[in-house]
Structure 1
Amino acid sequence: MGAALAETAANESNWREALGARILAQWQSLTTEEQEAEVSFPSISPQYDLPDCREEPTIDLMRPLQPGRNGIELRCADPYWVQNLALQLHIYREVAVLQNPIKNGEILQPEHVSLIRYDTGELGKGFYLTLTDVVGSEAKRSLRTGTVISPDMIEAADIISRGQPVTIRLKRPGIRIEMAGTALTDGHLGEHIRVRNDRSQKILSAEVLGADLVQID
């Protein structure tokens, strides 16, 4: 058994606990928020034991530590040995999950989603931590109940349609002018779209601020 890793160990699982604690300490040093986390070694036999080491083995990460699967290299100086191990870093967080099936093009409403605890290391496509991040978005394809919502599944819904009347706001320090215009393209909140000044017929690029309001900076 790795002596320095578990000097008071009474069973073979203690080196895992000690090594896991060191990994968790490294992870906590990388994040500013408190998170529910744990480490497991799913690919290692329960009977596997580390060789003895008179000093605490050093830990080298194969890549920057992240939720999910990680590779590490344990190195002992006396007696000399090197062990490559795989571990799973579980980071549990509440993420946005569909509570009802959604059709392609449907707008997500508050009753469609809720926050449910998941191991984010298993969510390789990404996730959302707040309902406000997804409510009001448009589904890019049909989605089933229980789906963890990821960025590739939704997009910002258009709130301005091509051809609709809009108010064009020109804002400068100490100056604010509004004029009537027409949207030439669809647009979602924060998007820059082409609009036409109805009086001058000039084509402009403006940011969508609301359902009928755009602004030229």
Structure 2
Amino acid sequence: MRIGQIMKFRSFYKIFFLRSLSFKLKDVAKNIGSAGLLMLTLIQSANAQASIENIEQLRTKVAQFLTVEYENSNASKVEVKVNNLDTRLRLTKCDQDLSLILKDPAKNGGNVNVEVACKGTSSWTILVPSLAKVYRLVATASRNMQRGEVISESDLTTEVIDVSNYRMGFALTPDALVGKELKSAINKGEAFRNSALDSPLVIRRGDTVSMESTVGEISVKTNGTAISDGRIGQQIRVKNLQSARVINAKVVASGRVQSIF
């Protein structure tokens, strides 16, 4: 083989080798680029997940908050269930401690809402619905009682009951019940709803009552005749026996009223 032919062969081989190497390097670069893009996507996805509040953790915080709130109100026992939240909910992760407020002033439980708020850089507020069963030691009826009966100490006992069933309020202690009159019947073991209680009737129409009028430091007492029945705290009309004048008066005790000017 001549020298010129050898040189041409070597040049051809060199060009072929360089082109093959170039194609391989491009493939490697392409693969590295794809892997890098995949890794970048995964990192961005992880960062996005990290910047969103975890809904289940949020529900757990609400449950813990509710339990502490009711236990601090002298509840004997507390059972809490936080409702499921929409899994599509996307709340920016708060850079401050979350603010939780219970929307239950009476602290008697039932279906309640907890206001959860982020007051950080990205502020947001949501209401989390929950069910709270709150058990308290309260006065209950020791027997079945009928409308119109006046409650005595023997009619009462105490039990730990779920007060979330009494959303309209109830009397806790026997002291708040003795002497009250029932506006509706109550069964044995039930708590006494405030709406079912009335002050006792202490003045009846036609009764002679003691009337007291006070102006500044001067107080005058006289007798009158009740024109209507009256309970403690109620306003009734009374006829002054001396002047025959009819005035409005507030019932303050059995047989006693106070003039209203």
Q: TM-score, normalised by structure 2?
A: 0.60
Partner SS for 2:63: helix
The AA in structure 2 aligned to 1:40 is V
Aligned length: 193
Gaps of 5+ in 2: 1-49, 51-55, 119-125
Structure 1 residue runs of 5 or longer lacking an equivalent are 4-12, 77-82
Partner of residue 186, structure 1: 229
Pairs within 5 Å for 1:63-142: 65-66=103-104, 67-71=109-113, 86-142=129-185
Q: For residue 78 of structure 2, what is the aligned residue in structure 1?
A: 38
Provide the residue aligned with 1:147 in structure 2: 190
Runs of 4+ in 1 over 6 A off after TM superposition: 13-16, 56-61, 73-76
Residue number in structure 1 paired with 2:199? 156
Change (3 A) 1:94 1:198: same
Look up the match of 1:174.
217
Contact 1:97–1:149 under 8 Å retained in 2:
yes
Distance, in Å, in 1 between the alignment partners of 2:116 and 2:173 is: 38
Structure 1 residues 202, 17: CA separation in 2 closer, same or farther (over 3 Å shift)? same
Per-residue CA deviations over 1:127-166 (Å, capped at 9, x if unaligned) read: 1112222221111233221122112222111100100111
Higher share in strand: 1
Give the Cα–Cα distance (whole angstroms) in 2 for the partners of residues 19 and 168 of structure 1. 57
**Equivalents in 2 of 1:172, 1:75: separation in Å?**
54
Cα distance per residue 1:49-68 (max 9 Å; x no partner): 9x9x995799798x952221
CA RMSD of aligned residues (A): 3.9
Percent identical pairs in the alignment equals 22
Distance in 1 (alpha carbons) for counterparts of 2:94 and 2:62: 10
The alignment status of 1:198 with 2:241, answered yes or no, reads yes
Q: Which residue of 2 aligns with 1:207?
A: 250
Query: Structure 2: how far apart are the matches of 1:131 and 1:171?
Result: 34
Q: How many Å separate the matches in 1 of 2:110 and 2:223?
A: 53
More helix by share: 2
Question: Closer, same or farther in 2 for the Cα pair 1:104/1:75, shift >3 Å?
Answer: closer
If asked which structure has higher relative contact order (CA below 8 Å, sep 6+), I would say 1
Give distance in 2, aligned partners of 1:199 and 1:138: 34
Judge conservation of contact 1:35–1:91 (CA < 8 Å) in 2: no
Q: Partners of 1:118 and 1:147 in 2: how far apart?
A: 9
Q: What code does the residue aligned with 2:135 have?
A: Y
The answer (yes or no) to whether the contact 2:62–2:82 under 8 Å persists in 1 is: no
